[in-house]
Amino acid sequence: MADAPIYEAREVTKSYGSVRALTDVNLSVRAGEIIGLVGDNGAGKSTLVKVLSGVHRPDTGGVYLDGVAQEWKSPHDALQAGIETLYQDSGLCPDLTISGNVFLGRERRRPGLLGKLGFLDNKAMARVAHEELERAGIGLTTGVRRNVNQLSGGQRQAVAIGRAVAWARKVIILDEPTNHLGARQSGEVLKVIESARERGLGVIFISHTLPHVLQVTDRIVVLRLGRVVADEPTSSFTPDSLLKVITGLHTPEPRS
């Protein structure tokens, strides 16, 4: 894991009208690091994700990629810079094949006559999709030319994350990727998340499922009422102590 952060939010403040959602938030992730972003309902997690993914611009403060200040004008800007965000609803098209979904919006075409774009290169896309999903640790028992609606919920989510891992060049942000999944399916998804770390990506993992956060992250950032109240190595938390920090029932050790 490199020492310098690959992606950072520095002193970010964001309000919706009179509602202050984030106050002076600092968050950083390094290449090859998985950080957990946790907090109670309304703590500001989604707002921070939207700032990091270019949906919202912060009121004050900013985001920095490889130490360089960025002004995302749209999510497309962040995406182009190598930051992939996967929202709760995976955004897969059920009627397309697995490979079609992996390449959605980035389809490959065979060169046409006179240098014009030709037909979709389905064969090449299927081959690359298969390779990329394998690299992401997704062993599909079915071919990539099958439709996504033939997959289980866990497999579908794994494909969505595999797609994000395949395209991300710097960072992936995963908002509740194990929501509504059973234990075995969540296990598959967590393995894909670990494969992203092995590929040297920075991973920001947002979840209310604390055992999953404790299982795969290297560091945990806790938001409460829009402020960072903890940013510590995962090994320093127990399930109980993490819950206490999230809910605010944590009483700091008295200073001597």
Ligand X SMILES: Nc1ncnc2c1ncn2[C@@H]1O[C@H](COP(=O)(O)OP(=O)(O)OP(=O)(O)O)[C@@H](O)[C@H]1O
State yes or no: residue 58 binds ligand X (CB under 6 A): no
**Strand ordering across the sheet containing 83-86:** 83-86, 171-175, 202-206, 33-38, 219-224, 227-233
Instruction: Report the nearest approach of ligand X to the CB of residue 53 (Å).
Output: 13
Name which position in 31, 34, 43, 196 contacts ligand X (CB under 6 A): 43
By C-beta, is 47 or 155 nearer to ligand X? 47
State yes or no: residue 42 binds ligand X (CB under 6 A): yes
Name which position in 23, 28, 46, 101 contacts ligand X (CB under 6 A): 46
Instruction: Report the nearest approach of ligand X to the CB of residue 188 (Å).
Output: 24
Contacting ligand X within 156-215 (CB under 6 A): none
Name which position in 1, 4, 19, 117 contacts ligand X (CB under 6 A): 19
Give the integer Cα–Cα distance in Å for 166 and 127. Answer: 13
Q: Torsion angle, CA of 11/30/212/227, rounded to 10 degrees?
A: -10
Instruction: Please name which of 99, 131, 112, 8 lies closest in space to residue 62, comparing C-alpha atoms.
Output: 8
Give the integer Cα–Cα distance in Å for 243 and 115. Answer: 59
State yes or no: residue 47 binds ligand X (CB under 6 A): yes
Q: Which residues pair with 204 in a beta bridge?
A: 35, 173
CA-based angle 192:193:196, to the nearest 5?
90
Instruction: Report the nearest approach of ligand X to the CB of residue 207 (Å).
Output: 10
Residues touching ligand X, count (CB under 6 A): 11
By C-beta, is 120 or 225 nearer to ligand X? 225
Write out the residues near ligand X by the rule CB under 6 A: 16, 19, 21, 39, 41-47
